[in-house]
Structure 1
Amino acid sequence: MRYDDSPPAPESGPADAPDRHWFTRRSTLVVGVAALAPACLAGWVLTQALSGAGPDETRPHTVPLPASHSALSHGQRDAKPGSSPSSTPTSTSTPTSTPSGSPSTSAAAPAPARGPLSGRTVVIDPGHNTGNFQHTDEIDRKVDIGTNRKECDTTGTTTNSGYMEAEFTMDVSVRTRKILEAQGAKVVLTHETGVRPWGPCINERARIGNEAAADAVVSVHADGVSSGNRGYHIILPAAVKSGAADTAKIVGPSRDLGEKIASNFARTTGSSPANYLGSGTGLVVRDDLGGLNLSTRPKVFIECGNMRDAKDAAQLTSPEWRQKAAQGIADGIVGFLGG
């Protein structure tokens, strides 16, 4: 008795017996398949070779870099060896060939904007640094400001809710840079977020403007006096000649720059001149600021408001108001430069 479904074993008998016919057909089929297999395999290999597929049927491909890798950010251009991986590029674009055979990068740098400030250089100095709070020893060391020696830098103030002056000044400075660059100016910031852990010192801030041969320098700040004191004011350099300080050549043009910024700042922000100094003019002259004493370029400070007053703080913490502040500063610079 057969307990499986396999065909019966061939037995001797006539050549045309049914079982022998089945065996003959199966043998012929097996031989045919065996003959075709090498040809099919050769055809498959040829097809894969021409299409670029590998044995696992995947094709080589290039993963495009994120858009942020196409150009270095301002901070990455200045990154130093030893910076954290997140602040430096991990790969660069490979040059490709143009139809003429010359190498080119995958993304060309945009051409500088042309405008009324083309050929002009402006330095914007964001007051303080958010890292100063963690580097008090470094910022407390004294530097020469011409008339005397003074701390390298300070922490700056904060609002009652903890919003740092250094955060405010950087935000307004970056916004101002964007506006001025659209007018064709070359804009230099004395420092940028995340590039350095503290500072720079006040004498270095002045040196950056001098070495850039800036046509105008503006240091952005916010005040930290008692509540009830409100409004903006512009600090102008006094006539100082002592040690490394000599402001004779910049006193006049700096006042012109300060007046232009004051009027435009009031117009765009709706703010009033400070009610606690400057006799309502919004202009104050000082001889104790190294950033002004050591400058050889027209330079002013702007205190955009009082962070310790609730009403002023509400404005200073508003992105919309900070954009207006940046516009007012930029408009004043444009007016000063004749743009």
Structure 2
Amino acid sequence: MSYTGPDSEPPQPRRSPLRRPLTVVVAALVPGALLAWGVYAAVGGPDDAGGGDAEKPAGSSPAPVSGKPSASPSPLPAPGSLKGKVVVIDPGHNPANFQHTSEINRKVNVGTHWKECDTTGTATNAGWPEAKFTLDVAHRLRDLLEKRGATVKLTQDGDRPYGPCVDERARIGNEVKADAAISIHADGSGSGNRGFHVILPGRVHDGAADTRAIVAPSAELGERVVNGFVRVTGTAPANYLGDGTGLVTRTDLGGLNLSTVPKVFIECGNMRDGADAALLTSGSWRQKAAQGMSEGIVSFLRG
């Protein structure tokens, strides 16, 4: 699909102007047809917001995670069925970070070491910033989860001059005792490196960092997010790390080290690769990305 800009949607298909009179027989079939259409619309048709054809990486296909067959899509829970569940969405970086370099460069304690408060994030070669991508996807994901009854909190909503710092991002999820937390990012790797990956917390017990209680549930959350993301977006796990599983474990990220609730990071694609950038800047693909994350989170919360 040709590049249409980061905030635009692909043109919607035109409806046929032809209308034919309904016969008595056809009229009798209308209730069944409407029911079938309702099922189709629930899973996303071409006229849905973000429901257009996804730009699928060449030669990619949904792959099972860790050699296991992907689970069949489970029915979406009824509206309100996640009532009482709390999800924290952490849109990586902040669109205004670049205006506050001294503040985001100050060091904070992430348990195992000291690290910069935050960074500006990466950008596409055309200059569209990761921070705008993450906030857009976070809004889409929030809407999907709230429709299911979950209480959703964002760590930032473009409503502060910079940050929050990585330690505060973790603290926000801890304070609300989130049932699940996800930090949304896009990578800035070399051209030719394609695909998404989900980062899991490794086992850390050092200083203020103690991930021992969240390693297992975070791994489960991560696997479900990977499966949902592959199934809905049609994109493959990263070809440059994770051995094709879409899963990477790290012990150097303060947002994970300081978390006391199940949490993962997702790098949705590589902004520095032209093919991945075409996906990341597509509104319809971002909607599918949010839907894939939502399916994984909902599956995790339902147990």
Query: TM-score when scaled to structure 2?
Result: 0.74
> Is residue 230 of structure 2 the alignment partner of residue 266 of structure 1?
yes
Q: Secondary structure at the match of 1:130?
A: coil
Tell me the CA shift for residue 114 of structure 1. 4.9
What SS class does the counterpart of residue 264 from structure 1 fall into?
helix
Q: Where do residues 20-59 of structure 1 align in structure 2 (5 Å cutoff)?
A: none
**What does residue 169 of structure 1 align with?**
134
Query: Which amino acid is the alignment partner of residue 95 of structure 2?
Result: T
Shift in Å, 1:317: 0.2
Cα distance in 1 for partners of 2:238, 2:300 equals: 22
Q: Partner residue of 1:141?
A: 106
Larger Rg: 1
Provide the residue aligned with 2:156 in structure 1: 191
Paired AA for residue 260 in structure 2: T
Gaps of 5+ in 2: 1-77
Residue 326, structure 1, aligned to residue 279, structure 2:
no
Q: Which residue of 1 aligns with 2:93?
A: 128
Equivalents in 2 of 1:196, 1:118: separation in Å?
A: 29
CA distance in 2, matches of 1:241, 1:142: 20
Q: Determine the C-alpha separation between the residues in 2 that align with 1:233 and 1:278.
A: 7
Instruction: Output the CA distance in 1 between the equivalents of 2:212 and 2:107.
Output: 25
Shift of 1:116: 1.9
**Could you say what secondary structure the match of 2:243 adopts?**
helix
| Matched residue type, 1:277 | L
Structure 2 residue aligned with 1:284? 248
The AA in structure 1 aligned to 2:292 is G
**Equivalent residue for 2:267?**
303
Please give the per-residue CA displacement for 1:180-217, whole angstroms capped at 9, x wherever unaligned. 00000000000112x10110000000000000100000
**C-alpha RMSD of matched pairs (Å):** 1.0
Aligned to 2:45: none
State the 1:160 CA deviation.
0.5
Matched, 1:116 2:112: no
Distance 1:270 1:311 in 2: 14
Q: Deviations over 1:255-297 (max 9, x none)?
A: 0000000000011111100000001100000000000000000
Measure, in 2, the Cα distance between the counterparts of 1:316 and 1:150: 28
Q: 1:222 aligns to what?
A: 186
Tell me the residue number matched to 2:145.
180
Counterpart in the other structure of 1:210: 174
Identity %: 66
Is it true that 1:312 corresponds to 2:276 in the alignment?
yes
Q: For the residues of structure 2 that align with 1:119 and 1:148, how far apart are their CA atoms?
A: 35
Letter in 1 for 2:109: D
Offset, 1:253 = 0.1
What is the aligned partner in structure 2 of residue 338 from structure 1?
302
Separation in 1 of the partners of 2:81 and 2:281? Answer: 31
Aligned to 2:125, what secondary structure does the other structure show?
coil
Q: How many angstroms does 1:115 deviate by? A: 1.8
Cα distance in 2 for residues equivalent to 1:261 and 1:320: 19
In the comparison of the two structures, how many residue pairs are matched? 226
Match of 2:216 among 252, 261, 285: 252
Instruction: Write the deviation string for residues 223-243 of structure 1: whole angstroms up to 9, x where unpaired.
Output: 001100000000000000011
